Amino acid sequence: MNRYSDKDLEKLLSAGEPAPAPEGLAQRIKDDIPDDLSLAPAPPTEGPVELAPDPRFGPRFGLRRSLVLAATLVLALGAAVFFQRHRAELAPALFEGPPVGARGTAAAPAAAEGPAPAPQRGDGALNDGAQRDRAEALAEALQPSTPLTEASAPDALRRQGERADRGDVYRSSDDAGSVGAVRQEKLEAAKKELRSRLRQIAPVGDPSEGRGLAPQEPAAAGAGTVEEPRVRGGRDERKSLGKPVVARSRASFDEEIQVTAPLPVFESRGTHSSLSVDSADAEAEQSGADGDMAVVFRPAPEPVAAPPSPPSTGGTGVPNGAAHDAMFFDSAGVHPFVDAEDDALSTFGLDVDTASYTLARRYLRDGDLPPADAVRVEEFVNYFDYGDPPPEPGEGDFALTAEGAPSLYGPGERYHLVRLAIRGRDVASEDRQPSTLTFVVDVSGSMDRENRLGLVKRSLHLLLEQLRPDDRVALVVYGSAGRVVLEPTGNKGRAAAAIDALVPEGSTNAEEGLRLAYALAARHREPGRIHRVILCSDGVANVGETSAEAILQRVRGHAREGIELTTVGFGMGNYNDVLMERLANQGNGRYAYVDGIEEARRIFVTSLTGTLQTLAAEARAQVEWDSEVVSRWRLLGYENRDIADERFRDDTVDAGEIGVGHTVTVLYEVKTHRPLRRRDRLGTLHLRYGSIAAGEMVEQSLDIRGRDLASTWDGASRSLRLAALVAQTAEVLRESFWAKGTDLDDVFRRTQRVATEYPGDTDVAELASLVGTAAKLRGRR
Amino acid sequence: MSHDPTPDAAASRAADERRLLGALAEGDRSAAERLVDLTYGQIFAALTKLTGGDRDLAADLTQETYRKAWRSLGSFDRRSRFGTWLYRIAYNTFLNHIRRPQPLQALDDGSASRLEDPARGQDDRLDRREVAARLRRAVIGLPDELRFTVTARFWGELAVEDIARLENVTGAAIRKRLKNAMARMRLSLGEDAA
């Protein structure tokens, strides 16, 4: 077995004379040198350069750490001595080769003397799963009949190349400091992905969504001989690697696993007992060591985190064995920076949900920090009104604007924050289509807690007052069973009486409630009306005998027929954010969280027209960055809305719905190659959506130019500064890598200042106080 | 190791680099040309190894490497050596190339016979080219972090401390990576011969 020592390998690797470079190469290279080379001045410290700590190992060793290290060494030495003494008994079981002993410490030099440990599968330095992966790859690679060419590189190797490349791109063009960032990012992304995969019992999106690639797709076309089922086309794979979670988890999970399982309930606070990375070892193959966390997922023979339908909670049950007060969230990770040269396109579905902000507000008001997984940056940002102008009459459905400024929180120089605003046309209340609203109200036992049902009833009364005589309301409730309480009626008095009569009862059968509501809505369908099912629930769902996928499929199917689903969340404790958001996504509707009657007023009164009347369906945006100007970019938020670039014009891809008068705000952090000039074009925003007015897919676009950006932070508009502070607050609360080191107190002070520029806007004033609360709570941790 | 420059030569080279970078920062374009002279041979040699001996391809990739380097020069913070930074770009350029879909000619001959065991004392019968080809596959098959480290060390001929600085980790971490990589390669080569 003792074939190659490290020295042999080193010799082999170093073998061969360096080939002399071809003549003329130097000249070719020199001809390419541009005239306007710019180089940063030398770093301030002369002499030996201080190394930043490797993030995997935490901060630089201080005294305490040194002590811990010393203690660890003593223990390790003891263990080594013990091992040496009991070698005879232990060795056969552990090694075939000579023992490593104390020599094999982490810092052992590569050229350590003596024979190296034999390459056993049990070798502690190696990851078993990774070995298998590697072994497969090599077996493939070393087939005599398959020379390793670019075209035929085995898929496993190719994938690895892609992964590696993906990760490296960030390193190549940036400061050394971001290397740790990337690694940390990868690690976090992989962990999150793993967690989310295990939890993702109910596949989301259309099964065809995110699947493979069009045949002409480059990487797919050049792929190797055997198409493994879990291999996506190169582009999708790259996409998902750059943007850690979404594409991959959707694409491959849907395709590989048919799981029948209850609706997903995600635990975020407390322990991740059954969902830790460790427990997934059997299913997850980690390829790589030393923090290389490219994780490949395989379907489990039995769904690991898919217990049979949980018992009905009714407010007292124990869903999935989680603590009674567990809240259920999921995170799609955090977008990393992307090298514009490698990938200049950023594509995602638009989103006008605001639930994440109101949920976080509820937490903060209760004196708690929201769980990081509950924070979605875009939903924070979209909660606020930045005063963007609506389109001029005849200008189309949307007004697009761009602004920016040097980024206050960017990781270095020449970083700019760019704000893109997509402002929908207004429609007067009297001009919206008449609506038939079918409310599905959860009256299960859990709705009795903290008078959730009371809040629902008051909210519905508010809404009722806003309805026009030609609108109709129907009411379905579900507890242990679902039943129709009120057939569609225009009689507000009858509706009010029906709402008043609601009382909490029994367990939770959301499935039946939704089924009845859809049946009712479908029966009363009429052309020229808005048909909307509105689910009011805390999202704690026992879905009867049916799987989550079946419910989601039903919701999807009805959405296609024009009956949309809006979900309105109520309550705290056992609240299921994931389910509510997913349902609204599938139902082409909006997801809101009502943390108090004022939020109900906002949704059902102030912006009722926007809540009901859809302006654009399947709206998606694509920003094409100019890599000559922009060196790297990062989209803030929209992590769970990623769309593969090449599917921007694929209208079967599920995207977002935008109501009339709504504004979608998109923030990017971009780094430019050089100081920005007014005439520079940073990129172009493309918007594509199904225009309800025009009855067809429409595209609009806007160039983002240097002159749109302010040259200093203080010179930026109040809207940009507000958006930046909102986003940064969300970034801190979700513990984004990119917000590490941000002082929330500083954000607080700045938010207070911005609030003075928004006199009369209670939302901004409230934001300031919430940031203050969050800063205090974080300080206490 | 044979490819290690003497400490003096390395130090003077580093000093040259620093001087040229200083001149470049002040806008001296000819300093860029001198930097090319100083570094391109090593980059070309590394790319030749990475590409399995395809010198034409290596030359193209070398040219591409410098093009990218000039473009992203603004982000070079001079904390690591210029040559090290350049190697990282060359390495990425190579990986980008591998990923490119269009069919290209084979980089090396895959029909070579199985790698034999040096323990049998038959080293002299080994075809060097075959060994190199298999070794290259084993290297390319490493996880990225290890692959980068191994190629930077042995094919890019970079010093451990320079790689550490670029990767923003300690020299010990790099040596650990090298050791880990050797173990993996030994395994893959061993399985190959089995």
pLDDT of residue A392: 87
Amino acid (one-letter) located at A242: G
pLDDT more than 90, % of chain A: 31
Interface check for A143 against chain B (CB to CB < 8 A): the answer is: yes
- Distance of alpha carbon A635 from the chain centroid: 11
Task: Give the tens place of pLDDT for each residue, A341-394.
Answer: 888 999 999 988 899 999 999 999 989 999 998 999 999 999 999 999 999 887
| B44 neighbourhood in chain A, CB within 8 Å | 19, 21, 25
Interface check for A69 against chain B (CB to CB < 8 A): the answer is: no
Task: Give the tens place of pLDDT for each residue, A511-559.
Answer: 888 889 999 999 998 888 999 999 998 876 655 545 667 788 888 889 8
CA distance A325 to A572: 8
- Taking only Cα atoms into account, the Rg of chain A, rounded to an integer number of angstroms, comes to 29
| A142 neighbourhood in chain B, CB within 8 Å | 134, 137, 192
Q: How many CB atoms lie within 10 A of CB A372?
A: 15
* Cβ pair A656, A250 in contact under 8 A: no
- pLDDT band at residue A81 under the 50/70/90 scheme: low
| A133 neighbourhood in chain B, CB within 8 Å | none
Tokens of A179: 């290397």
Q: Comparing C-alpha atoms, which of A502, A444, A506, A505 is closest to residue A475?
A: A502
Judged against a pLDDT cut of 70, whether residue B52 lies above it is answered with yes
Query: Which helix (H) or strand (E) is A751 found in, with range?
Result: helix A744-756
Judged against a pLDDT cut of 50, whether residue A155 lies above it is answered with no
Using CA atoms, how far residue B84 sits from A548, B80, B157, B163, in Å, is 52, 7, 9, 7
Q: Do B141 and A160 touch (CB under 8 A)?
A: yes
pLDDT, chain B, mean? 77
DSSP A447-495: GGGGGHHHHHHHHHHHHHHH--TT-EEEEEEESSSEEEEEEEES-HHHH
Using CA atoms, how far residue A321 sits from A265, A331, A659, B67, in Å, is 10, 21, 39, 57
* Cβ pair A664, A352 in contact under 8 A: yes
CA distance A767 to A419: 19
* Cβ pair A505, A480 in contact under 8 A: yes
Output DSSP code: residue A738: G
Judged against a pLDDT cut of 50, whether residue A260 lies above it is answered with no
Q: Do A109 and B175 touch (CB under 8 A)?
A: yes
* Cβ pair A22, B47 in contact under 8 A: no
Q: Do B128 and A15 touch (CB under 8 A)?
A: yes
Which has the higher per-residue pLDDT, B48 or B173? B48
Task: Give the tens place of pLDDT for each residue, B57-85.
Answer: 899 899 989 988 888 887 787 777 888 88
CB environment A634-645: b (16+ within 10 A), e (fewer)? bbbbbbbbbbbb
Say if residue A660 is exposed, middle or buried (CB neighbours under 10 Å; 0-12, 13-18, 19+): buried
Q: Do A158 and B98 touch (CB under 8 A)?
A: yes
Judged against a pLDDT cut of 50, whether residue A272 lies above it is answered with no
Please tell me the least confidently modeled range out of A58-67, A441-450, B179-188.
A58-67
- pLDDT band at residue B126 under the 50/70/90 scheme: low
Which has the higher per-residue pLDDT, A49 or A282? A49
User: Could you say which residues from 276 to 295 on chain A have a Cβ atom under 8 Å away from some Cβ of chain B?
Assistant: 287-292, 294
A688: β partners: A620, A699
Judged against a pLDDT cut of 60, whether residue A221 lies above it is answered with no
| B89 neighbourhood in chain A, CB within 8 Å | 172-173
pLDDT of residue A722: 96
Interface check for B145 against chain A (CB to CB < 8 A): the answer is: yes
Which has the higher per-residue pLDDT, A386 or A589? A386
CA distance A602 to A302: 45
pLDDT of residue A226: 32
Task: Give the tens place of pLDDT for each residue, A297-341.
Answer: 333 333 333 333 333 333 333 333 333 345 677 777 888 899 998
pLDDT of residue A412: 80
Please tell me the least confidently modeled range out of A18-27, A125-134, B39-48.
A125-134
Please tell me the least confidently modeled range out of A40-44, A651-655, A688-692.
A40-44
Query: Which of B79, B112, B179 has its CB closest to that of A49?
Result: B79
| Residue A565 φ/ψ, nearest 5 degrees | -120, 125
The three-point CA angle A519-A525-A528 to 5° equals: 150
- pLDDT band at residue A602 under the 50/70/90 scheme: confident
Please tell me the least confidently modeled range out of A128-137, A268-277, A716-725, B98-107.
A268-277
| Residue A420 φ/ψ, nearest 5 degrees | -110, 130
Question: How far off is chain A from B122, nearest CA to CA, in Å?
Answer: 12
Arithmetic mean of pLDDT, A6-24: 79
pLDDT of residue B193: 54
User: Which residue intervals of A310-427 are DSSP H helices?
Assistant: 355-365, 377-381
Query: Which of B63, B77, B118 has its CB closest to that of A28?
Result: B63
* Cβ pair A615, A698 in contact under 8 A: no
Which ipTM score applies to this complex?
Answer: 0.77
Amino acid (one-letter) located at A24: G
A420: β partners: A402, A666
Question: How far off is chain A from B38, nearest CA to CA, in Å?
Answer: 10
- SS3 state at B59: helix
| A163 neighbourhood in chain B, CB within 8 Å | 144
The three-point CA angle A440-A200-A533 to 5° equals: 15
- Where do we find the tokens 């999708």? A236
Residue in chain A closest to B50 (alpha carbons) equals A13
Interface check for B187 against chain A (CB to CB < 8 A): the answer is: yes
Judged against a pLDDT cut of 80, whether residue A60 lies above it is answered with no
Which has the higher per-residue pLDDT, A614 or A727? A727
pLDDT of residue A67: 64
Q: Comparing C-alpha atoms, which of A59, A746, A713 is closest to residue A410?
A: A713
- SS3 state at A124: coil
Interface check for A133 against chain B (CB to CB < 8 A): the answer is: no
Interface check for A135 against chain B (CB to CB < 8 A): the answer is: yes
pLDDT, chain A, mean? 70
Question: How far off is chain A from B142, nearest CA to CA, in Å?
Answer: 8
Helices H / strands E in chain B, number of each: 8, 0
Residues composing chain A: 781
User: Could you say which residues from 440 to 499 on chain A have a Cβ atom under 8 Å away from some Cβ of chain B?
Assistant: none
Question: How far off is chain B from A243, nearest CA to CA, in Å?
Answer: 18
* Cβ pair B134, B108 in contact under 8 A: no
pLDDT more than 70, % of chain A: 61
Q: Do A33 and B145 touch (CB under 8 A)?
A: no
- pLDDT band at residue A204 under the 50/70/90 scheme: very low
Judged against a pLDDT cut of 70, whether residue B189 lies above it is answered with yes
Interface check for B184 against chain A (CB to CB < 8 A): the answer is: yes
Tell me the HSE value of B140 on the side-chain side, using a 13 A CA sphere. Answer: 34
- Where do we find the tokens 């806003």? A466
* Cβ pair A398, A702 in contact under 8 A: no
CA distance A668 to A771: 22
Max mean pLDDT among A24-38, A68-82, A265-279 falls in A24-38
* Cβ pair A612, A659 in contact under 8 A: yes
Using CA atoms, how far residue A29 sits from A21, A22, B36, B88, in Å, is 12, 12, 8, 17
Query: Which helix (H) or strand (E) is A277 found in, with range?
Result: none
Q: How many CB atoms lie within 10 A of CB A583?
A: 27
Which has the higher per-residue pLDDT, A185 or A747? A747
Tell me the HSE value of A81 on the side-chain side, using a 13 A CA sphere. Answer: 6
Task: Give the tens place of pLDDT for each residue, A670-722.
Answer: 999 999 999 999 999 999 999 988 888 999 999 999 999 999 998 999 999 99
Spell out the residues 6+ positions from residue A684 whose beta carbon is closer than 8 angstroms to its own: A623, A624, A701, A702, A703, A704
Residue in chain B closest to A53 (alpha carbons) equals B169
Judged against a pLDDT cut of 50, whether residue A143 lies above it is answered with no
Question: How far off is chain B from A630, nearest CA to CA, in Å?
Answer: 11
pLDDT of residue A207: 33
Max mean pLDDT among A112-116, A248-252, A508-512, A751-755 falls in A751-755
Q: Do A126 and B67 touch (CB under 8 A)?
A: no
* Cβ pair A584, A566 in contact under 8 A: yes
pLDDT of residue A531: 92
Arithmetic mean of pLDDT, A71-80: 68
User: Could you say which residues from 714 to 773 on chain A have a Cβ atom under 8 Å away from some Cβ of chain B?
Assistant: none
Please tell me the least confidently modeled range out of A250-259, B22-31, B97-106.
A250-259
Arithmetic mean of pLDDT, B131-148: 84
Interface check for B52 against chain A (CB to CB < 8 A): the answer is: yes
pLDDT of residue A749: 94
Q: Do A21 and B40 touch (CB under 8 A)?
A: yes
- pLDDT band at residue A489 under the 50/70/90 scheme: very high
- N-to-C CA span, chain A: 53
| A106 neighbourhood in chain B, CB within 8 Å | 172, 176
Residue in chain A closest to B137 (alpha carbons) equals A141
User: Could you say which residues from 80 to 139 on chain B have a Cβ atom under 8 Å away from some Cβ of chain A?
Assistant: 80, 88-89, 91-92, 95-113, 117-119, 128, 131-132, 134-139
